[in-house]
Structure 1
Amino acid sequence: MKSTFILLGFLLCSITSVAQQVFKNDELTVSKLKDKTWVVETSDKTTMYIVEGDKRAMLIDTGTKCTALDEIVRKITSKPLDVVITHLHPDHAGNIHYFDSIYLHPADTVMMGEYHYKGKINYVAEGQVFDLGGTEIEVAWMPGHTPGSIVLLNRATGDCFSGDAFGSGQVWLQLEPHVPMTDYLQSCRRMRQLMEQDGIRYIWCGHYPYVKTYYDLGYICKMETLAQRLAAGDTEGAKPFRMPPSTHALGHSVYLSDGPVMIVYNADKIN
């Protein structure tokens, strides 16, 4: 019976979310997802989120191809802003230079040399809570896609802003710096527990334009099953994966899938 409800939830998740557009230019679109929460979709299909409290606001990631991103955010909220980066890949941190201060996990600083950021870098820690005034956003460390990948939890609304920690249908684990599949499996298990036990219901991914909705428990269960197989060395059914050139690409990229859920990994270095 439980598996039936998980499958039903996974199918319902494919229904497009209703998001009301509030701003648009040639590079991005800003739409309201729900009360005090906006999604920013860029022309190259990366995603940022804006969450507002009574006293402060948060920008989650800074995307790419976003001229004057700071000014655009100010069209949505005038409150003091915390800029939090889910991970340091350029499609999520490419516009940090528009902001005087950012937050990120220290495990991703190994990639900071790719940037010439002159602002203040603040490090987040597991369980850290940003109090926006009537809205609290909690940091959860979920290594896998990068060593310092984090998700941001709004427990009151059941929202998780996941960056690329659990992908957008497919999660990339074939990149440098490498994270063992066993570590990613623990991240999947923890995310499942947050959804089963702690009231998290909606995973808003880092490339929302591809899906136009949230991911649910069924998605995470499928991702965990794939990670468990790979962590144990079961690669039956894996196929070659062709990816665009990347400075982060590592080794022989292959993928293992279960319907619409896929893990891309390095066949020569799984754990």
Structure 2
Amino acid sequence: MKTKTGRTWRALRKVMGLAVLTLVLLIGVALKLAPYIYTEISSWIEPHAIVDAAPAVLARGTMVDDYWAVERLNAGTFAIGEPRYYQRNYSYLILGTKRALLFDAGSGTRDILPIVKRLTSLPVTVMPSHLHYDHMGGITRFNAIALIDLPATRADVHYGQFIPTRYEFVGLIDDLVLPGFQVSQWIHPGNWIDLGGRRLQVLSTPGHTPTSAALFDPGYTQFFAGDFIYPGQLYAQLPGASRSAYRSTTNALLASLPHETTIWSAHCCRPGEGIRAPYLGVGDLIALQLALDRFSAGHLPARGFYPRKFGVNERLEFFTGFPWTNE
């Protein structure tokens, strides 16, 4: 005869088994969706003020008001910085004789257009290095907008309007609304932008995001890298980021860039040098290549659970996800 106690115990075991199974399934889903969950909760994990209350003290360049910094890199290139913005973004205004290109549109925390107009009277086209909010925030202030021509960017055009997806823009971190705009120029990877007396080659540089773009200026031997590489923590743990794409792009760049190339990137600052336009060299790309190779071979240990972090050199650290999320 089955007792009431026995039936109760079997029912309890069944409920506990279902609870354990549910927990295992939830953990599995969470691990699979780690880049998206991390993005959704990152503002809770790392709360931040958008603008630093303290005035900025520059190592190079000039504050043109209480927010914007301008540094002249050469006769035809200006770095425009946001040293009080929590990510310390830098955009680059590149001048030709007929027109100018603004590479990245600023975070949108303050309007970058008046600064651009102070620096040039040429017609300006803006091109974002990638679709993250801190590089696209000010883009709708411009009439001429160029984008790298890839299937993924074309897919974001709806009824003539380009609108990035939630996890391409990731503006949810700061409660920002998705921007929408018309693209006036699509540029295929490998093609050139002619500014008049100055030509820039557009390169596809997936890794940080699938649709990241960079510019090579052979006249000044400059490479404008966006977020692909910069002094600090390189993010390859967000949605769409890929460590293997980082390796492939790094190898391609090392095969094509002259060794004397100066790399101008999008986030300040170099350790010990204060606030100035962030720069690196081809030697830093070589260090990144070696670190990625060692990490992939299991010879370079990582710290942390998510993101996993490993050092590259004294200027660079690499953040990545799990093998099944950001491989």
**TM-score range for the pair, normalised by the shorter chain length:** 0.7 to 0.9
Shift of 1:104: 2.1
Counterparts of 1:162 and 1:41, CA distance in 2? 15
Counterparts of 2:61 and 2:241, CA distance in 1? 38
Deviations 1:45-92 (A, max 9, x none): 011000101111110001114533222201101111111110011111
Aligned residue number for residue 81 of structure 1: 124
> Quick one: structure 1 residues 131 and 18, their matched pair in 2 at CA, closer, same or farther if it must change by over 3 Å?
farther
Shift of 1:200: 5.5
Give yes or no for contact 1:158–1:200 (8 Å, CA) kept in 2: yes
Shift of 1:121: 5.3
Give yes or no for contact 1:158–1:199 (8 Å, CA) kept in 2: no
> Quick one: structure 1 residues 122 and 112, their matched pair in 2 at CA, closer, same or farther if it must change by over 3 Å?
farther
Aligned residue number for residue 167 of structure 1: 230
Q: Does 1:142 align with 2:205?
A: yes
Aligned partner of 1:31 among 55, 67, 71 = 71
More strand by share: 1
Q: Please, which runs of 5 or more residues in structure 2 have no aligned partner? A: 1-57, 157-162, 167-177
Deviations 1:105-138 (A, max 9, x none): 3335667034232333543211111100110011
Aligned partner of 2:285 among 204, 215, 220 = 220
Shift of 1:209: 4.2
TM-score by length of 1: 0.80
**Paired residues, number:** 240
Deviations 1:1-37 (A, max 9, x none): xxxxxxxxxxxxxxxx98543x512221112111110
Aligned residue number for residue 193 of structure 2: 130
Paired residues for 1:1-271 under 5 Å: 19-21=60-62, 24-42=64-82, 43-44=84-85, 45-105=88-148, 106=150, 107-108=152-153, 112-114=164-166, 115-120=178-183, 122-179=185-242, 181-195=243-257, 198=258, 201-210=261-270, 212=276, 213-232=278-297, 234=298, 236-240=300-304, 252-260=306-314, 261-269=316-324, 270-271=326-327
SS of aligned partner of 1:71: helix
Counterparts of 1:46 and 1:20, CA distance in 2? 14
Give yes or no for contact 1:27–1:66 (8 Å, CA) kept in 2: no
Of 183-192 and 50-59, the range deviating more from structure 2: 183-192
Counterparts of 1:268 and 1:182, CA distance in 2? 10
Shift of 1:208: 3.4
SS of aligned partner of 1:151: strand
Q: Please, which runs of 5 or more residues in structure 1 have no aligned partner? A: 1-16, 242-251
> Quick one: structure 1 residues 127 and 144, their matched pair in 2 at CA, closer, same or farther if it must change by over 3 Å?
same
> Quick one: structure 1 residues 103 and 151, their matched pair in 2 at CA, closer, same or farther if it must change by over 3 Å?
same
Shift of 1:159: 0.3
TM-score by length of 2: 0.67
Counterparts of 1:170 and 1:60, CA distance in 2? 21
